[in-house]
Structure formats: C-alpha cells, structure tokens
Amino acid sequence: MDITQELVRYVLDAAPADIPARAQHDAKRSLINFLGCAIGGAQHETVDKALAATRPFSGPGQATILGRSEKLDIMSAALINGTSSAVLDFDATQAKKTNIHPSGPAAPVCLALAELNPVRGLDFLTAFILGVEIECRIANTVFGERNPGWHVTSVCGGFGAAAAAGRLLDLDEQQLIWAFGIAANLAGGIRENYGTMVKSFAPGTAARNGLQAALMAQQGFVSDDHALEGSKGFAVAMTGIDDLQGLTENLGKDFEISYNTYKAFACGIVTHASVDGCIRLRNEHHLEPSQIGSVSLKVSPNTLLLTGKEEPKTGLEGKFSVYHTAAIALIDGTAGEAQFTDSRVHDPNVIALRKNVHAEAVESIGKYEAYVSIQLKNGSVLNEHVTHALGSLDNPMSDDDIAGKYRELVNGVISQQQSEKIIDLCWSAESLDDAGEIARAAVKK
Amino acid sequence: MDITQELVRYVLDAAPADIPARAQHDAKRSLINFLGCAIGGAQHETVDKALAATRPFSGPGQATILGRSEKLDIMSAALINGTSSAVLDFDATQAKKTNIHPSGPAAPVCLALAELNPVRGLDFLTAFILGVEIECRIANTVFGERNPGWHVTSVCGGFGAAAAAGRLLDLDEQQLIWAFGIAANLAGGIRENYGTMVKSFAPGTAARNGLQAALMAQQGFVSDDHALEGSKGFAVAMTGIDDLQGLTENLGKDFEISYNTYKAFACGIVTHASVDGCIRLRNEHHLEPSQIGSVSLKVSPNTLLLTGKEEPKTGLEGKFSVYHTAAIALIDGTAGEAQFTDSRVHDPNVIALRKNVHAEAVESIGKYEAYVSIQLKNGSVLNEHVTHALGSLDNPMSDDDIAGKYRELVNGVISQQQSEKIIDLCWSAESLDDAGEIARAAVKK
C-alpha cells in the first residue's frame, strides 16, 4: 500500500474505541491548553490586525472567533483562531524531533466544523487526535533530520487540519487522498518570520488551508495521489528526504498527542528550570522577598545565550531574561502573562531582587535542568536541583496545573461562568452530544 | 540597500511614464490572452468544483467571477479567476529560465481591486506590469538553476500578486516589505500535482495569497524584513540559492512582461512547430484533406517522448498526440479547443488522415522547430521547415492572432458584444477612467 493511502485509511478507519484512554485524556489537556491560549491571545493586536484584514471579505457568521464577539465563516474562523492560539507563544509543543505546535492547526478546524453542523463529542475528540497524529508524523519524518528554514507547524499543519476535517466531513478514501494532495500544494511557511506577527499567523493559515483542502476534495477536486511522497512532491521539495517509512510506524499504537508538552511559564523555555526551582524553594520555605539576600543559578549554556538579558526594558524582554524570570517567580510564586508586563519589569521591588540574581552557564547542564541556590539574609542557604522543569515530558503539568493556566489566560476575557463551563465541557468532551457548545461558550460578551 | 527593499522601492516608485510603450503594449496582449483563458476556462468542471467549495464561505459580492454569473468577495474572486485562467493550459508562459505563467496570479488581483474601488486604467496596467516583473524576477533568480519539485507559478506568484496589490492599495515601503514577508510565508505548490486540477488551483491560490498579504500589511501586520533573502527565508528554504543579485539587475530597464509567449495552439507546446508547418502548407496551397497522401514530420526527441501517442482516445489525449495535432491542423487550419473534443478525436475523417501521419525524432531539432513534408496523392511533395513555431519569442503571435485566440475562447460564454467591448477596453486600457469596467463586462448573462 502507498504511504499516503495507508495514512488516509488509518485516519478514516480508526474507531474511537481503538484510541486508548490515555490519548483521549491527553487530547482534552491539549484542548484546554489551546483554548486558554486562543481566548487569552485573542485580545492581542496581532489578532486585531488579522481580523481587520479578514472581516470585510468574510462570509456568513458560521463559527465563533474564540474570545471575541465576532462570528465569521468557518474558513476565516479557522484562520483567526489558529492565529490567536499562537500569539502568546504558550501553546503545546511536541517534544520529539521537532518543535511543532500541533493544536493550532487541528483544533480550530474541529471547532469550526462542530459549529457548522453538530458533531458528537467523541467524534470531535477523535478527529482532533487524528489530526495531531498526522501533523506530528509528517513533522518528525520529513523535518526531524534536516530543515533548511521551514516553520514546521506551518508546513505540516495543513495535513493535520485536512485529516481532522476529512474525518468530520466523512470523506471517502480517495477524497482524503486528494485533500492531502491539495494540502501539500498549499503548505508553506519559513522560520525567517519568527519573532514577528507572521509566526502566529502560520498555524492559522495551516488550519484554513487544511480545511479548504478537505472541503475541495469533498467536491471532487482532484490532486495527485502521491503529493506527499512523490518524486516531485512535498517531502522531496521541502527537505529532500525521500524515505518516509517512519510516517506509518506504530500507527494506531503510539499516539503523538501524548508527546505534547505544555509550557508552565509564559517565558523563554530555557528559563523554565530555574523558574521552577525558585517557585519550589519559595513555596517550601514560605519565602518573602525581604528575606532573600542573593540568588545563584547554574543553567545550560543556551539559557545564558538566549535569555542573558540583565536589565530588560519591556515585558517582552522580561520573558527572555533569566534574571527577571527568577526574581518574579520568587516574588509572585508564578510566571504567567501578568508577570511580564512593562510595569512589572520596571517595578522597584522586582528590580531590587533582580539585581541580586546571578547566573552561570555550565556545559553539562541540560535544557530542562538548573541548580538554584538562595542565600538568605539570615545566613542560611537553600538549594534546589531541578532535573526536569515543570511542563517537560518527564515532569508534566498536572491536570490542575493546566486548568489553572487556562483560567489565568482567559481571566478578564470571558466570564468566570463561561470559563468554568468550557473546562467542564472539555473534561467531559467524549460524552457531549454537540461539541459545538465548546466554541459557542467562548464568545466574548 | 537590501534586496527586498530595493525591489519594493522600485514597485512603489516606478512612474507609469517610466514604463516603455512596448512593455505597456505587451501588458495588454497578456491581459487579453489571460481574459480569453479565464472566461473560456470558467466553464470547466475544475472551476465548478472550486466554486462549490468556496461559495458557502465567501463574503460580499465585491468582484466578478470572469465568465460566470456569480460575484464573490475579492479574495475568493482572485482565487477562482486565477484558477480559471489555467484550466485550459493556454495562458502566457515566460520564456526565460523557467516556465512561469505570470498573469494568473497578478491579473486577478488587479481586476478584483479595480472592482472594489475605481482604479484608473493607467494605474491598473502599471500594477499588472510590476506584479509580473516581481514574480518573474524571483522565478528566474531562485528557480532558474535548481528546483527539487516546486511549481514555479505557484510559489512565486504570491509575490507578484502582493506587488500588484501593494501598488493599487497605495502601501508604503514598510507595508510592502511586510506584504512580501507574508507572501513568502504563504508560498507553496509542488510539481507532483501537475496533470491534476490542483495545477490550475495554484495560480488562484497565489493570487489570493498575495492579495491577502497586501491587505494584512496594510493593517500593519508585521513580518520579517528579509523573508525573501534571509538565511532561513524563502530562497534558501526553497532551493538553497542565496545569491539573489539577479533579482534587481536591470530593474526598470528590461521588462519581464516582454518575455511572455502565447500559445497559439491548444495542445502540447512541443507539437506547435509541426502544427504551425501544417497550417502554413495548408493555407499556402489551399489543401483539402482529400488531396493528402501522407505526412512526414521530423521533430525534436522530446516531441516524440511527450506527444508520441498514435491513437488518442480522448480530446485531452489528442492534445498530446503529434499525429492528431498535425492531422487536425491540416483539416481545420487551426488547433484550438474545438479541435480537441472527444468527438473530433473519434471522427473517421480525422482518423483516416492521422493514420497517414508519420513522425521521426531528430537529435539536432530544437523545441520550437520541425520539418513538415506532405506527399500529395498527385505525386507532388510540399516541404516546410519551421525554425520558430508561431507563439515563440522569435515568432510571436500578432495582435490580431491574440485577439483571434481570445475570441475563440470566449465564444459561447459571453455575447459577441461583450467580447468586443472587452477587447476594446483592453487595447485602450491606459486611458480608461475605471479599469473595473473590464471585469464587469466579463459576467456571463
């Protein structure tokens, strides 16, 4: 059987009952994290501008723009919701061979289609899981070893979105093969645009493109059957990799969604281990900032390279300062969006502690590792060795952690009542009669 | 100055008066050819299916779908009109280092924006010329030497569409740089999909993507300033080519649109020289099929390789049969769409002559060259050596040829009155007060 055919057949034939409880639960965790990011992110100027450029050309109000008051057609909704989910740089990351963020392309398509026509919660979750499965497999196989500049979420996301949509639209095998072929043609996105609004736009375009691919295939729009693996196809053109056996390895046995990791803190990933250590010591010893003399961090070389800014000037710079992140974690006991405003970066109490944070790079220290040592004014010293920062695959956030992160992100955008309703709907998603309820509950009133 | 900045500054600063009359005239020829292809192509099932998958999600009726009765939002119109222009495989081809078809992405954007807000004809033509300029320069520089599988029209078209839109939307320099950055992120399209409906969809998506890029940039949506030439940017990711000096060589002096060639015949390009030779002999000697004994062709090796089908079974196969194309050219004196229907391929008179057509590949014969020798039943022999087939850069179609091709393509779709109005509007495009008239005249009633 062809590779594409094997993938497509799996996507269409997998029964919800064949998906293990663990994967289903991980899908809910991903969904809650995604919704927090998208609802919270929807207030960002990136989304304002994308909406301003989309609204005048959009169709009927078929689907909710998460965390906003608008409804737009499903293609525009997929575009905007995927974008919103990425602006805070807080969405789930697959911790295998690439840094793909698979929810951004897949979830908006499931949500939009569930609003267009009622979808049972179990089918909704299954489509989401299978969409993530396809994106991540393509990412790891085609981009795991070689990547001249592609934004992996962007270029792989459309296949995941097409798979999820194909499942919900009940495409047949040939149609889903075409949807993959159309998605292959629409795939684009480069890393040169990292650090700009376009980076957030990319999962949105992947969502929109995959949805469009499925809708066109449903009408019988014909592509090549081997657009993914052919000699002038996606994989060869993108990276030159033509051995795609990995695409179907352990299909139906090992689920990609269970390799999703969730950022616990709203700052550069390489600061997370030291932030985690500071919070552990603070909580364990009930520390007050006034007790602290100085803080010594031993971190990975990359941590100092990427987040060595001693005196951040803006909230955004604060996210990439290992000094600010440690100080604010000790003061607030958390490191969410609220800790990275311009005013917190300029707060005299924060600055006072920040000046007493020292950091040293040690070659043998890994990405998710840090040594934190706090010298108290009373002379005693508190030490913590973080081997796996909270949020890494070996030290995952608990369900409560994820729900807490979600609540913090949506706070002030939707009501507490809405927020709790969405959480409840997600945790019981497999038994919903109409998964569209989730999106409809996320309207900003 | 940066490469992108230099390109962008040229696009925005070029005055219509700086564009030579030759380029302006070539733009009109391209436009007429494009409109013929799009209006004629709009009846194809490829367009039916694309429209069926687009209409339910489209916005207000801002722009005409050429050769159809619908009006859709400008983004959807750009998508569909770009698609229609390609389905007959009859649109202009740039005859430099690639086979880009530059009108398909650029023209639909100019037409759609001219309907959204009135645009003077001179500005319309200038925007179209500059859009084509940008696409072709990127194609020739980035894809001229190396191409692992990219569909050049698809991946370069968005920049041309963005340039044309940027000019008509009056973007400033920074905004057009962002539009290029967004277009770079949206660029995709692979050759594996050649021979399917997706090949036609590609210029449409390029048009839509470039238009969207310009509209987003107008709202201040920020990209990287070097998405085209950066170390993780478009050129490096696509082909690894990082010397982009050619992008700005002779900018404003040598115009890409003047390298457009127009297919005179609706069949495989490698058959054109022998078709041309058959028509020349037929017309010169007033030949009737009944006079012809046999036909001997000497053609390039590629011609036999690509179009060596002796007994085509469908109209489409007939386009790729050097035997059918020669026979039908001798019978009908032309080789348009009407010569490649299933019924013409099965016509006993055509079959009778086709069986007497012989072809031989000769290594030294070039792409646009052929020797045609006709043995008449009365014993005499007629010879023609075609060195440059009609439609090649060295033997271009006349203005009347192009208008004739256009008329044949739109015949039966729009009225003769509409058809002639459009031709008149195009030939005098530089003096129109409102270029939107062109698109509005192309509605199927």
The DSSP code sequence of B22-65 is: HHHHHHHHHHHHHHHHHHHHTTSHHHHHHHHHHGGGB----EE-
On whether residue B253 sits in a domain, the answer given is yes
Token pair, residue A197, equals 């609004």
pLDDT of residue A1: 77
CA dist B325 and B28 (Å) reads 29
> Are A224 and B193 an interchain contact pair (Cβ–Cβ within 8 Å)?
yes
CA dist A159 and A256 (Å) reads 14
A310 and A422 fall within a common domain: no
B257 and B273 fall within a common domain: no
CA dist A277 and A329 (Å) reads 9
Residue B278: in which H helix or E strand, if any? helix B272-285
B73 and B169 fall within a common domain: yes
B382 and B404 fall within a common domain: no
Q: Which residues contact B17 (CB under 8 A, 6 or more apart)?
A: none
**Mutual angle of helices B74-87 and B103-116, in 10-degree steps:** 150
> Are A58 and B59 an interchain contact pair (Cβ–Cβ within 8 Å)?
yes
Taking contacts as CB-CB distances below 8 angstroms, the residues of chain A near B52 are 219
What are the helix and strand counts (H, E) for chain A?
A: 19, 8
Last residue of a domain, which of B342, B367, B386?
A: B386
B301 and B203 fall within a common domain: no
Cα B32 versus chain centre, distance: 11
Residue A12: in which H helix or E strand, if any? helix A3-13
C-alpha Rg value of chain B to the nearest Å = 22
SS3 B383: strand
On whether residue B445 sits in a domain, the answer given is no
In the predicted model, is pLDDT for residue B95 greater than 90?
Answer: no
Identify the CA nearest to B384 among candidates B276, B266, B268.
B276
pLDDT of residue B445: 93
> Among A190, A194, A219, whose Cβ lies nearest the Cβ of B237?
A190
What's the longest Cα–Cα distance across chain A?
75
Cα A82 versus chain centre, distance: 10
Following CA atoms B157, B162, B164, B166 in sequence, which dihedral angle do they give, to the nearest 10 degrees? -170
- Mean pLDDT, rounded, for B404-430: 97
On whether residue A391 sits in a domain, the answer given is no
pLDDT of residue A222: 96
- Mean pLDDT, rounded, for A403-420: 97
CA dist A32 and A35 (Å) reads 5
> Among B60, B188, B234, whose Cβ lies nearest the Cβ of A186?
B188
**Per-residue pLDDT tens over the stretch A137-180:** 999 999 999 999 999 999 999 999 999 999 999 999 999 999 99
A111 and A55 fall within a common domain: yes
Residue A311 belongs to domain with CATH number: 3.30.1330.120
Q: Which residue of B lies nearest to A199 if distances are taken between CA atoms?
A: B223
pLDDT of residue A17: 95
Residues A57/B62, Cβ–Cβ less than 8 Å = yes
Q: In Å, how far is A150's CA from the nearest CA of chain B?
A: 6
Q: Which residue of A lies nearest to B197 if distances are taken between CA atoms?
A: A222
To probe the interface with B, which of A193, A231, A241, A242 has the most B CB atoms within 10 Å? A193
Taking contacts as CB-CB distances below 8 angstroms, the residues of chain B near A187 are 188
To probe the interface with A, which of B51, B142, B169, B185 has the most A CB atoms within 10 Å? B185
- Mean pLDDT, rounded, for A420-439: 98
Taking contacts as CB-CB distances below 8 angstroms, the residues of chain B near A50 are 216, 219, 221
CA dist A133 and B249 (Å) reads 46
- Mean pLDDT, rounded, for B377-393: 97
Domain extent, residue B328, equals 269-386
CA dist B263 and B30 (Å) reads 11
> Are B49 and A216 an interchain contact pair (Cβ–Cβ within 8 Å)?
yes
pLDDT of residue B23: 98
Q: Which residue of B lies nearest to A55 if distances are taken between CA atoms?
A: B59
Cα A109 versus chain centre, distance: 15
C-alpha distance from residue A141 to each of A189, A211, A243, A338, B135 (Å): 18, 23, 8, 38, 32
- Mean pLDDT, rounded, for A280-302: 97
pLDDT of residue A343: 97
> Are A57 and B74 an interchain contact pair (Cβ–Cβ within 8 Å)?
yes
> Among A56, A215, A226, whose Cβ lies nearest the Cβ of B192?
A226
- Mean pLDDT, rounded, for A303-326: 93
- Average pLDDT of chain B, as a whole number: 97
Identify the CA nearest to B166 among candidates B14, B63, B40.
B14
SS3 B298: strand
A91 and A120 fall within a common domain: yes
B375 and B411 fall within a common domain: no
B306 and B336 fall within a common domain: yes
**Per-residue pLDDT tens over the stretch A90-148:** 999 998 999 999 999 999 999 999 999 999 999 999 999 999 999 999 999 999 999 99
Q: In Å, how far is B65's CA from the nearest CA of chain A?
A: 15
> Among A56, A75, A221, whose Cβ lies nearest the Cβ of B50?
A221
Last residue of a domain, which of A345, A366, A386?
A: A386
Identify the CA nearest to B424 among candidates B65, B396, B416, B262.
B416
> Are A224 and B196 an interchain contact pair (Cβ–Cβ within 8 Å)?
yes
Residue A184 belongs to domain with CATH number: 1.10.4100.10
Last residue of a domain, which of B365, B386, B407?
A: B386
Residue B261: in which H helix or E strand, if any? strand B260-261
Residue B56 identity: P
Instruction: Report the domain count for chain A.
Output: 2
pLDDT of residue B1: 77
- Check residue A179 and give left, alpha or beta (phi > 0: left; psi -120 to 50: alpha): alpha
B402 and B365 fall within a common domain: no
B149 and B96 fall within a common domain: yes
pLDDT of residue A66: 98
pLDDT confidence tier of residue B195, bands split at 50, 70 and 90: confident
Q: Are strands B71-72 and B63-64 parallel, antiparallel or unpaired?
A: antiparallel
Work out how many CB contacts closer than 8 A connect A with B: 198
- Mean pLDDT, rounded, for B169-174: 98
Residue B6 backbone phi and psi in degrees, to 5: -65, -45
On whether residue A163 sits in a domain, the answer given is yes
Taking contacts as CB-CB distances below 8 angstroms, the residues of chain A near B58 are 59, 73
Taking contacts as CB-CB distances below 8 angstroms, the residues of chain A near B49 are 216, 219-221
Cα B278 versus chain centre, distance: 25
A313 and A169 fall within a common domain: no
Q: What letter does residue A143 receive in the DSSP assignment?
A: S
CA dist A271 and A350 (Å) reads 17
Residue by residue, DSSP assigns A221-279 as ----TTTTTSTTSHHHHHH-----GGGGTTTTTS-GGGGEE--SSSS-GGGHHHHHHHH
> Among B50, B188, B218, whose Cβ lies nearest the Cβ of A188?
B188
On whether residue B428 sits in a domain, the answer given is yes
In the predicted model, is pLDDT for residue A316 greater than 90?
Answer: no
Residues 59-88 of B with CB under 8 A from A: 59-60, 62, 73-76
Residue B356 backbone phi and psi in degrees, to 5: -100, 10
Q: In Å, how far is B216's CA from the nearest CA of chain A?
A: 5
Identify the CA nearest to B30 among candidates B127, B151, B113.
B127
